[in-house]
Structure 1
Amino acid sequence: MEEVDKHFYDRADEHINLSNDQLNTESKGKVSASMMYGLSRFNSWVSACGWNSSEEMKSAKKETLNYFVDEYRKMLEENLDDYINNFDEYMKPKK
């Protein structure tokens, strides 16, 4: 993964904290689905900001999808490996 800006993890943690707060009233699956939907909606908007017309955006749709899916896959693989390597520590019951 490329070097990230110094506030990258702080911003990510804010999203995670919001999702954790939502777990007080919703299931993990519902919170996860809402978070993924929100992310897809935001990234669609970010992508739209880079184009001058819907035709331009449409012509780059496959490339845009590949970019976001590839980046998500890299981040998910990294985090899955982290949980695999630290499972006992991360998943032990909180006292």
Structure 2
Amino acid sequence: MSQENAQNNEIDASLEITPEMQSFYQRADAIIGVANSQLGPDAHSGQVGASLLYAAARYSASVASIGFVKGDDFAKEKDDIVEFYTKQYRQMLSDNLTDYAQNFDKYIQLNQDDKPAK
């Protein structure tokens, strides 16, 4: 079981997981799977994480541009767009750090289980 799936299973039992939420977590797990597949002798987790963060920023800029007709109008909204994405990221990061800290021993064990046998 991946760490992400374990985290998803830890969601408050009183919270109903809607099909939309399940799809959200499945997409996130798929992207994390691609990131994990990039790990190796030429790229450690910090490098892969930096690439993933850059990809998220690049994709978010593209998504944010949808609906604008002129670049000047888009540029005028830059600060609000940055504020929106920063707030979302801060909350998601905080939630995941809290979850990881609360389940640290279990997640560390999962990470050890996911490593190939030598």
SS in 2 for 1:7: helix
Quick one: distance in 1 between partners of 2:81 and 2:67? 11
Alignment RMSD: 1.6
Structure 1 residue aligned with 2:33: 17
Alignment of 1:1-95 (within 5 A): 5=20, 6-25=22-41, 26-92=43-109, 93-94=112-113
5+ unaligned residues in a row in structure 2: which ranges?
1-16
TM-score for the superposition, normalised by structure 2: 0.73
Gaps of 5+ in 1: none
Shift in Å, 1:50: 2.5
TM-score by length of 1: 0.90
Tell me how far apart the structure 1 counterparts of residues 81 and 69 of structure 2 sit (CA, whole Å).
Answer: 15
CA distance in 2, matches of 1:23, 1:82: 23
SS at match of 2:101: helix
Higher relative contact order (CA 8 A, sep 6+): 2
- Structure number with greater Rg is 2
Q: Count the aligned residue pairs.
A: 93
**Letter aligned with residue 103 of structure 2:** N
Deviation for aligned residue 1:24 = 2.7
% of aligned pairs identical?
32
